[in-house]
Amino acid sequence: MDPAAVDFEAIMERFQLRQERKISEAAASLPVHYFVFDILRYKGEDVRSWPLARLEQLLQEVLQPNA
């Protein structure tokens, strides 16, 4: 399998986990990375028409790294 390919079956299996132990085990063995690259609304305001530079600035302001 191409390492860049998305394994949707694995995503769905992971999404359905409910037990904390199994979630922790899955997080350790196959971590999930979530990339946010766009923002459409912020605090109820449609920001799609904002200039790209302002949207990039807003993403930097509101997103905090979790690693």
The string of pLDDT tens digits covering residues 5-61 is: 778 888 888 889 999 999 999 989 888 777 777 889 999 999 999 999 999 899 888
| Residues 17 and 23: beta-carbon distance below 8 Å | yes
Residues 14, 39, single domain; the answer is no
pLDDT, position 1: 55
CA distances from 50 to 20, 29, 36, 62 (A): 40, 40, 17, 16
pLDDT, position 51: 95
Residues 51, 27, single domain; the answer is no
Residues 26, 44, single domain; the answer is no
pTM for this model (two decimals): 0.46
Residues 66, 39, single domain; the answer is yes
* Number of domains observed in the structure of the chain: 2
Domain of 8? 1-32
Rounded to the nearest angstrom, the gap between the alpha carbon of residue 39 and the centroid of all alpha carbons in its chain is 12
pLDDT, position 10: 84
| Residues 32 and 14: beta-carbon distance below 8 Å | yes
Residues 20, 39, single domain; the answer is no
Residues 18, 47, single domain; the answer is no
Residues 40, 67, single domain; the answer is yes
